[in-house]
Amino acid sequence: MIRLLKRLFTLVLTLFLIGAFAYFVLLPRVLPRDYREFVERYAGQYQLEDSLVYAVIFCESHFNARAVSSAGAIGLMQVTEETGQWAAKQIGLDAAALDLTDPETNINVGCWYLKWLDEKFNGIRGTGLAAYNAGHGNVAKWLADEEKSKDGITLDEIPFGETKSYVKRVEMLEKIYRLVYRM
């Protein structure tokens, strides 16, 4: 009986250590929450879910603050200089001194822009995310096209494959972040 209890204890202890290792070592590498202070501050300020912001950062730059896309988008949330300059003026930042590679600045501008798109597109998450990826001008055109939007409010079809995939990835990762980190 004592031998069985020792084996059971060893098994429980081993499972606990494996779980702790997975939670504290592997999970942050697979599903990071870097820049937590800035994400929480600006997601809260602009009334966004932290899980959404983490999902966007994950998809846009994989948490690389110095990332630059082939289209010229910069930083964690991949904001273009043009959008960054415009957004900075809207939120009272010095547009001339804007550094989109600075994590705090990039998350501030990116969160503001996500919220602006959310409001512009009536709080329809997929439409706002499509606009974040493909540009709000493209999305406005798609909404005006009856083949892509029956009601002019909701996108029934996203014609850019990259954007369609992007929206699905962000929405999936948002759910995973929410579930795993109980956000």
Beta-bridge mates of residue 79: 74
Beta-bridge mates of residue 175: none
* Residue 119 annotated in active site: no
Closest listed residue to residue 104, CA positions, set 114, 115, 96, 93: 93
Q: Where are the alpha helices (DSSP H) in 92-160?
A: 103-120, 125-134, 136-144
Token digits for 176?
């995973």
Torsion-angle region of 160 (φ positive above 0: left; ψ -120 to 50: alpha; else: beta): beta
- Identified catalytic residue from 37, 40, 49, 60: 60
Write down the residue that tokens 């300059």 correspond to: 85
Residues that are catalytic? 60
